[in-house]
């Protein structure tokens, strides 16, 4: 019987052999027989979590640190190669450690007299009843058992989505699909929030998130500025990952005195770069934009927040040309329209942070065709053990 070696892990997490065969569950260095049997190689480890294989939260726990790092690095490097981008320096890949995820959406259902709570199974609506988790920050995981109890005692039977975010004051928790009818139900929720020391508890009963409990305004500190945290706003998934993204952009653009932060969210990059730089922070989500604006005004930070849809109404080439540097961190679709304007501008320094190597590579090609050089590129894996990959990059001309 012939055998083949797994050379790399492909974008969706399968191992791939030299002949291009995809093998689910195999990692770099494994051997696979004709009948599909995987003979574990030096990078194949026992998954740390008992739920691995059923839980849809992780795809790559069978890969050791070296194989994971190689996967994240190659995802980014291959995307660059596919667009024939010439690279100055590939910076070391950053992987977030276990138990650092500071935001997650879990799902829950009543089951018999109890309840199940956890991530969904891959490609299924079934919820895995989470008894351990190696990705969630301990503050989030500590709420899983109490939430199971809360939902078990609840009268409704519809599925519930639970969004958890670790904010400055503790955990911000939103329950979607959880109905609280009557005073006793509301009091039970308030007791829960107080006893668990929640920073905020909000219910979405079909009319948007309504806050039940928020003893002091919930914030997230960006740079050194506490910024109000609106419900459902974007936040980098791990604190250590955010630090790498922020420190890279600071290093890339450190001397620029005027910066436009595009797709700015709450101001993750804007507040880190501001003072000495003056920063224009452009964002389409209204709540995030207002939170950024209020924090900048209250603290007297030189961040000017602008509410604008950069897909339909990107900063024009003339507007872009007024800045010493641009940082952009678009959603997964990338920033085709905005990058076309940057290409036509006279700006010469661009830091591009991305959560999708493919759309990034397409946009990077537009920049390179306009005379930019890709100076630096760093692969980043904040979603440890998953196939989501991020990166920082720096372009000059």
Ligand X SMILES: C[S@@+](CC[C@H](N)C(=O)[O-])C[C@H]1O[C@@H](n2cnc3c(N)ncnc32)[C@H](O)[C@@H]1O
Report d(CA 141, CA 146) in Å as an integer: 10
For residues 46 and 36, is the Cβ–Cβ distance under 8 A?
no
- 283 near ligand X (CB under 6 A): yes
For residues 268 and 222, is the Cβ–Cβ distance under 8 A?
yes
Q: How many residues does the chain have?
A: 397
Report d(CA 385, CA 61) in Å as an integer: 5
Stretch that binds ligand X, among 63-71, 190-198, 325-333, 375-383 (CB under 6 A): 325-333
- 388 near ligand X (CB under 6 A): no
Least distance CB 283 / ligand X (angstroms): 5
Q: Which active-site residues does the annotation give? A: 355
Stretch that binds ligand X, among 7-15, 60-68, 247-255, 303-311 (CB under 6 A): 303-311
Taking CB under 6 A as the criterion, the residue among 331, 370, 373, 397 binding ligand X is: 331
Q: Does the CA dihedral 357-358-364-365 come out positive or negative?
A: positive
3-state secondary structure of 4: strand
Least distance CB 368 / ligand X (angstroms): 22
Taking CB under 6 A as the criterion, the residue among 9, 144, 288, 368 binding ligand X is: 288
Least distance CB 380 / ligand X (angstroms): 12
Least distance CB 8 / ligand X (angstroms): 27
Taking CB under 6 A as the criterion, the residue among 76, 264, 306, 364 binding ligand X is: 264
Q: Is 283 annotated as a binding residue?
A: yes
Q: Is 236 annotated as a binding residue?
A: yes
For residues 385 and 133, is the Cβ–Cβ distance under 8 A?
no
- Pairing type for strands 170-176 and 200-204 reads parallel
How many residues lie near ligand X (CB under 6 A)? 19
- 326 near ligand X (CB under 6 A): no
Contacts of 311 (CB under 8 A, 6+ apart): 284, 333, 335, 337, 338
Taking CB under 6 A as the criterion, the residue among 226, 228, 237, 265 binding ligand X is: 265
Stretch that binds ligand X, among 43-51, 209-217, 258-266, 377-385 (CB under 6 A): 258-266
Closest by alpha carbon to 351, among 331, 374, 333? 374
Taking CB under 6 A as the criterion, the residue among 70, 100, 165, 236 binding ligand X is: 236
Taking CB under 6 A as the criterion, the residue among 285, 292, 320, 380 binding ligand X is: 285
* Range list of H helices, the chain: 65-82, 138-141, 144-152, 183-195, 239-253, 268-273, 286-299, 317-321, 336-344, 357-369
| Residue with Cβ nearer ligand X (213 or 352) | 352
Q: Buried (b) or exposed (e) across 129-161, using 16+ Cβ within 10 A?
A: bbeebbbbbeebbebbeebbebbbebeeeeebe
Backbone torsions φ then ψ of 70, nearest 5 degrees = -65, -40
For 61, the enclosing helix (H) or strand (E) is: none
Closest residue to ligand X: CB criterion? 265
Q: Is 242 annotated as a binding residue?
A: no
- 232 near ligand X (CB under 6 A): no
Q: Is 390 annotated as a binding residue?
A: no
| Residue with Cβ nearer ligand X (179 or 232) | 232
- 100 near ligand X (CB under 6 A): no
Least distance CB 7 / ligand X (angstroms): 31
3-state secondary structure of 267: coil
Instruction: Give the Å distances, CA to CA, from 335 to 22, 57, 96, 264, 311.
Output: 31, 28, 26, 13, 7
| Residue with Cβ nearer ligand X (148 or 293) | 293
Residues making up the annotated binding site for S-adenosyl-L-methionine are 236, 263, 283, 329
Which residues contact ligand X by CB under 6 A?
234, 236, 263-266, 268-269, 283-285, 288, 309-311, 329-331, 355
């Amino acid at each position: 019987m012939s055998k083949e070696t797994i050379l790399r892990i492909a974008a969706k997490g399968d191992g791939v052999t030299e002949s291009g065969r995809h093998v689910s569950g195999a990692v770099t260095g494994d051997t696979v027989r004709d009948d599909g049997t995987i003979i574990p190689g030096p990078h194949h480890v026992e998954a740390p979590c008992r739920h691995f294989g059923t839980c849809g939260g992780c795809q790559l726990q069978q890969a050791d640190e070296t194989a994971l790092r190689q996967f994240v690095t190659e995802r980014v490097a291959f995307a660059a190669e596919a667009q024939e981008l010439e690279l100055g320096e590939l910076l070391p890949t950053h992987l977030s450690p276990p138990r650092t995820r500071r935001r997650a959406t879990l799902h829950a259902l009543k089951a018999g007299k109890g309840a199940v709570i956890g991530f969904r199974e891959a490609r299924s609506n079934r919820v895995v009843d989470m008894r351990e988790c190696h990705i969630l920050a301990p503050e989030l995981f500590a709420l899983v058992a109490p939430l199971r109890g809360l939902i078990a005692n609840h009268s409704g039977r519809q599925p519930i989505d639970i969004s958890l975010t670790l904010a400055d004051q503790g955990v911000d928790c939103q329950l979607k699909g959880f109905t609280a009818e009557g005073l006793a139900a509301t009091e039970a929720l308030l007791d829960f929030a107080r006893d668990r020391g929640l920073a905020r508890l909000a219910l979405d009963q079909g009319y948007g998130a309504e806050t039940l409990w928020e003893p002091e305004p919930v914030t997230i500190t960006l740079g050194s500025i506490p910024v109000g945290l609106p419900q459902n706003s974007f936040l980098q998934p791990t604190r250590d990952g955010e630090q790498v993204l922020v420190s890279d952009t600071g290093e890339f653009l450190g001397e620029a005195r005027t910066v436009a932060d595009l797709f700015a969210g709450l101001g993750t990059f804007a507040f880190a770069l501001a003072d000495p730089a003056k920063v224009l922070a452009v964002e389409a989500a209204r709540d995030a934009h207002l939170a950024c604006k209020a924090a900048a005004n209250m603290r007297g930070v030189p961040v000017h927040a602008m509410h604008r849809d950069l897909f339909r109404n990107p900063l024009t080439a003339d507007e872009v040309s007024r800045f010493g540097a641009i940082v952009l961190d678009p959603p997964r679709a990338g920033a085709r329209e905005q990058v076309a304007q940057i290409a036509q501008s006279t700006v010469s320094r661009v830091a591009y942070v991305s959560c999708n190597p493919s759309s990034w590579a397409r946009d990077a090609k537009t920049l390179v065709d306009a005379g930019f050089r890709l100076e630096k590129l760093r692969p980043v894996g904040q979603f440890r053990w998953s196939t989501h990959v991020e990166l920082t990059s720096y372009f000059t001309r």
